[in-house]
A and B are shown apart, each in its own frame.
Chain A
Amino acid sequence: MTGRVVWIRRLMGLLLAAGPVAWALHRSLPPGADLVNRGGLPLLGDLFASALRPSLEPGFLTLVLDAVGVTLAFATLGTTGALVIGLVGGLILSDAAWTRPPRWPVRVVRLLLRSVLVAVRSVHELVWALLFVSVLGLDPLVAVLAIALPFGAQTAQVFGQTFDDLPHGPLRALRNAGASPVPALVYGLLPAAAPLLLSYSFYRFECAIRSTVLLGVVGVGGLGQAIVVSLQSRNWNEVWTLIGAVLLLSALVDLWSTRVRSDMAVVTCSDWSGGRTQHKRGRSAQRDAAAIVRRTSSRWARWSALVLLPGIIVAWLTSGVSLAGLTSPRTRDLTGRLLQDLWPPQLPSGGWQVLIGSTLDTIAMAILAITVAVIITVALGPWATSPRHPPTDHAGLARLATRSISRAVLLVLRSIPPTVWAVVALLVLFPGVLPGALALGLYTGGILGRLVAEAWESIDTRATDVLRHAGVTQRVAAVAATVPPSAQQFLTYTLYRFEICLRDTAVVGIVGAAGLGQLLAENLATFKYPTITTLLAASCVLSITTELATRRLHQATRN
């Protein structure tokens, strides 16, 4: 490849990125209208000033503590459910578990399962929760199922892939020696997979905490619901206390999960987000396996294993979740009724024009959101990585401080639910695509920034070392050796988060931003179920199209 081709390709790449952003901006800016609602600016000031005076009344703090417990319980049970679905689904989906090629009925079932899982995960947790509320009523099971289903679908895919990526020797050997399938799986596949599965489980738990807070919007309890209630009465002092609690909880779970992950296997959140297998460039699988075996004796992992089962039991008992709702005749009646209401699908009032318009708004919102997130990541990410060589002088101390601050900012960004960001954004921006995009962008920025920082930390340092030995200054060497390999990862995470952003537009839509989410909220408020079916189908198609498109884009850039 000549230098010219490389430049042309880069230029094309830039256009490919800039074109959609320009289109999205054009679409979301109303012609001739004001961009900022200046009237809301003073209120914004008051609001942030009130962050310094969070409500600390004993009565309220008891409520906060209770809400923390509920959130933890829901997240724990939701994750447990997701892991059960993921393990079963993953085993069915993976080729490794089957040893010899399965017969055609199994293949058909697998294909069906795979497509059901894709559909299940293309619907946002919040929308699942809204549907479950119609069937189960005001039942804590709603929250657990709304987390367990979409997360389970995601987990099944990742677990299936994990099983397939492992060396198959032990399993083959056991099967060939005449072991029956189940023991063969238990002894041949699971031991090698366990560290990876556990590490992913902790990552999922982290995500589940954030999602449970989000579900508060539909009133399933916990910190999220408390935030909605305080927000409705515009009691910002209470909102800040609750957000502080979310922050603390996220920070602790982040820390715990990172510890376990780095102890169990050399796998980070960013690995899971970017499709784990690509991360192991340049290292032999055997070395990894050795590392895994060596590290399973971590203290963190042992402690986690000890609290795991009691934790689930406590969560079960305290949350009052019961599976009775699943089998009751009332649920069966209501499910029948809901399905009957949902069928046949109907276009929203305004017809195709409105449907297509909202879909385009959704896409524009997701593009702008990811742009905001990328800007945040580029601005904060480099500061949030830990330095390779432990600094010794006071310059090192300053570096440590900037690192802690940028990490804290990223944590704050991702801990505040996008619904709250949207309420804040709606103070200064007119309802529409922009406040939604800003809200989602801030939230996503917190997540993307962390993923990218983590990825940067794990980049091979040999290139930098070589350059430094060749006499290049440290700064230049670091940039020259890190940027090219990390650009690919950056793109991976950006595309991955873009897909999620598209799904997350449902969340800010529900608080009245724009797009399919808003249309969904409007139709849910007026019980137009046939239209809801159409909107769900539209978001499903959108999700799947994006998934295919980003995958293709990914393949194109990797070559």
Chain B
Amino acid sequence: MIATTRRTFLLGSAGLLVLTACGGADGSGAGAGSQRPPGPLGMSAIPDQDPELLNRLYPVVAKRFAGDTGLQVVYRPVTDYTAVVRAFEIGDIQLAWMGGLTGVQARARVPGASAIAQRDIDADFHSLFIAAKSSGLAPFADTAGLKSLAGHTLTFGSQTSTSGRLMPQYFMKQGGLDASDLKGKPGFSGSHDATIEAVASGSFEVGAVNEQVWKATVAAGKVDLGKVVILWRTPGYADYHWLARPDLDQTFGAGTTGKITNLLLGLDATKPDDAAILKLFGARSFIGTKNANYDQIEAVAKEQGLLA
């Protein structure tokens, strides 16, 4: 009985190898998504905060895009960061609101994709290190202050979040704070909202969070400021942006990318409809951007092994 199974197993492994090898040889790989019949234009966003907010915001944006381009536009909610990149890669979505890192990842997988617009706050974006008051930690003024976090528990947001993991981890390294200096392993709460909750409740003493989500949470009165203190605001870096697939014009008609870019850049805070959208994004306006603005993020991601 055992002997048969062992032989079976060896043969099975060989079979799998052959299968995989065949696949590797014949898949030409190129052109994924290009043969897709033009359906509705798919749009999505990384789930970096409260899905309720995302589900309120993006259908409105989709409607706006549809109105301005005359195309059918659908918002496809996705529950994890990686899935957004993957859906963009295989052409299930053509337009995506990406984080700095997810945008770089997506461009590595879809050559020719371009960053078209960002919010006014994204060119100089910041992360915050926040702490539970009960931790006894005091605010500090520069990167070197991060050393004071040694011996405390810390949580990041999602694994591939730029403002919740990548840049905070980068500054920690610069400040000479190693992950092994912390108490226990760093956690991954999954989203900025979850990080704020974890710190406010004392589940983790320190958290790395996106400044804009923090401000929105404070403004909404959803965090008890008697329990949480801001330790440090990181230096600025480029973050969120809209990314478009290179075949957008080819699939949906020449000028589609341009129309969407113009629409975003033209959103006007003095018009009520536009203001509503801008407010949900936490911005006053959208500005143009280009791929080169994310070179720093790309370099940091490579250095941290977060980019294949």
**A residues bordering B, Cβ < 8 Å?**
30, 33-34, 37, 39-40, 42-43, 46, 111-112, 114-116, 118-119, 133-134, 137-138, 216-219, 225, 228-235, 329-330, 333-340, 342-344, 349, 426-428, 430-432, 511-512, 521-522, 524-529, 533, 544, 547-548, 551-552
Contact = CB atoms under 8 A, between A and B. Distances in A.
Contacts of B9: 115, 118, 544
Contacts of A431: 184-188
Interface in B46-77: 47, 50-52, 76-77
B51 A232 contact: yes
A333 to B, nearest CB: 5
B305 A526 contact: yes
Contacts of B50: 232-233
B203 A37 contact: yes
Contact of A525 (B31, B92, B159): B159
B201 A42 contact: yes
A137 to B, nearest CB: 4
Contacts of B191: 232-233
B82 A525 contact: yes
Nearest to B86: A134
Contacts of A544: 9
Interface of A is mostly: helix
Nearest to B202: A39
B64 to A, nearest CB: 22
16 contacts: A30-B184, A33-B184, A39-B205, A40-B203, A42-B201, A46-B201, A115-B9, A115-B13, A116-B15, A138-B87, A228-B79, A428-B203, A431-B187, A526-B307, A527-B108, A533-B20
A232 B79 contact: yes
Contacts of A133: 83, 86
A40 B199 CA distance: 9
Contacts of B79: 216-219, 225, 228-229, 232
Interface of B: 1-2, 5-9, 11-13, 15-16, 20-21, 23-24, 26-29, 31-33, 35-36, 47, 50-52, 76-83, 85-87, 90-92, 105, 108-109, 132, 134, 153, 159-160, 183-188, 190-191, 193-194, 197-198, 201-205, 305-308
A510 to B, nearest CB: 9
B31 A333 contact: yes
Contact of A334 (B90, B188, B307): B90
Nearest to A512: B188
B308 A527 contact: yes
Contacts of B2: 548, 551-552
Nearest to A429: B184
A470 to B, nearest CB: 41
Contact of B81 (A335, A511, A525, A552): A525
A526 B5 contact: no
Given A225-B79, A343-B23, A512-B188, A39 B201 contact: yes
A216 B51 CA distance: 15
Given A34-B183, A233-B52, 11 more contacts: A39-B203, A218-B80, A228-B79, A333-B31, A334-B32, A340-B29, A431-B187, A512-B188, A525-B82, A527-B82, A527-B108
A449 to B, nearest CB: 30
A547 B83 CA distance: 33
A554 to B, nearest CB: 11
A525 B81 CA distance: 8
